[in-house]
Amino acid sequence: MATGNNSLIERIATRQSELSQTANALKAKLDHVRFACFALSIGGASLAAIASGLLNDTYRNYLIWPAAAMLAISAFMTERFLGRGSVTLHVKARMASEALKREAFLYATSAPPYDDAATQDELLRGALDTVEKNTDGLGLFEQTATGPGSCPRGPINVAGYIASRLDGQIRYYQNSADKLSKPSRLLHRAEFVLAGTAAVITAVAASVGKGSFDMASLTAVITTLVGTVLAHLQAARYDEHIVSYRATSHRLANLKATAAPSATASDIATAAEEIISSETKSWQALWLKENSQQGVE
């Protein structure tokens, strides 16, 4: 069990908490802007749908202008606040936070590479330096640490690691998957209803002539709404995150249930941190893939 430099592990814990708070703030901003853009796109497309069916040019103009404004604002916000730089900052902060947390728990349990008391402090200082070098650009957005954070600030045993890290991560992944399931279901249902509505309107319009409102013209715009819903679902990557979080939760729960009675804190930490690290790398790759494909996330 680690018995090294307490001031060093304290610094790691404090720095990790700061980076975690920074990542949370950056993610919250991205989420708020993305939802606002989604709402503006839906609103603009809906007004355009109504306008397209009106035969009176005067009434149509009353709707076309606000519809165009909503879509323009959405495009501006997407370009300004959901671009590559904003997403990169969030990913950088979260990855740095997770890297420090991993090192802190390995150090606190004397797991490799911190199993040699003669070199463990030097290795941890090196890990801190490496993380700091990868946080360029975060200075303007850094948040103050609130509370002690989730990193250990001293040596921990098997029970301590399971309680503070393993159980915590299992709950985190389970809760995160559950939280994302609701918007995922709602968006899938909305897409289904809109697609069905477009099909019905197409069928009705084919058998009913034009009246005061052109029903057939709604089909193309509703199809646009379907695309907007699917684009938001794709940008948020709800389904992919749900699958990944639940799989990781199960792997960690299986590790806890099947750990040998003689397993040390080092043994369990080595296996658990590998699972968590794998999920974190997958999460990073997913976000960078979103960003490269869509220029949003």
pLDDT band at 87 (very low <50, low <70, confident <90, very high): confident
Global pTM?
0.84
What pLDDT digit, counting tens, does each position of 132-188 carry?
Answer: 999 988 999 999 988 788 899 999 999 999 999 999 999 999 999 999 999 888 888
Given a cut of 50, whether residue 212 has pLDDT beyond it is no
Cα–Cα distance measured from residue 238 to residue 179, given in angstroms and rounded to the nearest whole number: 10
Given a cut of 90, whether residue 215 has pLDDT beyond it is no
What pLDDT digit, counting tens, does each position of 181-200 carry?
Answer: 998 888 888 888 888 887 78
Taking CA atoms, 258 is separated from 53, 111, 252, 261, 265, in Å, by 63, 19, 10, 9, 14
How much is the pLDDT for 189?
87
Average pLDDT of span 53-79: 84
How much is the pLDDT for 297?
36
Instruction: Quickly list DSSP for the chain.
Output: ---S-HHHHHHHHHHHHHHHHHHHHHHHHHHHHHHHHHHHHHHHHHHHHHHHHB--HHHHHHHHHHHHHHHHHHHHHHHHHSSHHHHHHHHHHHHHHHHHHHHHHHHHTT-TTS--TTTHHHHHHHHHHHHHHTTTT-GGG-----SS-SS-SS---HHHHIIIIIHHHHHHHHHHHHHHHHHHHHHHHHHHHHHHHHHHHHHHHHHS---SB-STTHHHHHHHHHHHHHHHHHHHTHHHHHHHHHHHHHHHHHHHHH--TT--HHHHHHHHHHHHHHHHHHHHHHHHHHHHHHS--
Instruction: Give percent above pLDDT 90 in the chain.
Output: 53
How much is the pLDDT for 84?
79
How much is the pLDDT for 140?
92
What b-and-e string marks burial along 198-219, b requiring 16 or more CB atoms within 10 Å of the CB?
beebbeebeeeeeeeeebebbb
